[in-house]
Amino acid sequence: MWTWDPDPADETYRVDFAFLLRDGSTVRPAHDTHIEGLFSRATWLSTLRSVGFDVEIVQGPEEDGARVEDIFVCRRAGS
């Protein structure tokens, strides 16, 4: 696995995976690329709403007395 950022100005980065897949005595290489990202809360909310979700933000669990995360609970609009 290799992680790299071809454009440091945006919120995404690229992760490339290399696999050796074995089927019986045959081995073949495979490659897969994932575009991943670290997005702001505003980006998440805008994106989720733009594809038809109503979004509720629920406070995540506390750890050592501090809240560690928010959880986005999404429902299809109108459901």
Does pLDDT of 5 surpass 90? yes
pLDDT of residue 42: 93
* Residue pair 45/38 in contact by the 8 Å Cβ criterion: no
Residue 22 and residue 45 in one domain: no
Task: Verify that 44 and 77 share a domain, yes or no.
Answer: yes
Q: pLDDT band at 68, cuts 50/70/90?
A: confident
Same domain, 43 and 78: yes
Domain count, the chain: 2
Question: Quick check: 29 and 20 in contact, CB under 8 A?
Answer: yes
pLDDT tens digits, residue range 9-45? Answer: 999 999 999 999 999 999 999 999 999 998 889 999 9
Domain membership of residue 20 as a residue range: 1-38
Shared domain for 79 and 60, answered yes or no, is yes
- Are 56 and 77 found together in one domain? yes
Q: Residues 31, 53: one domain?
A: no
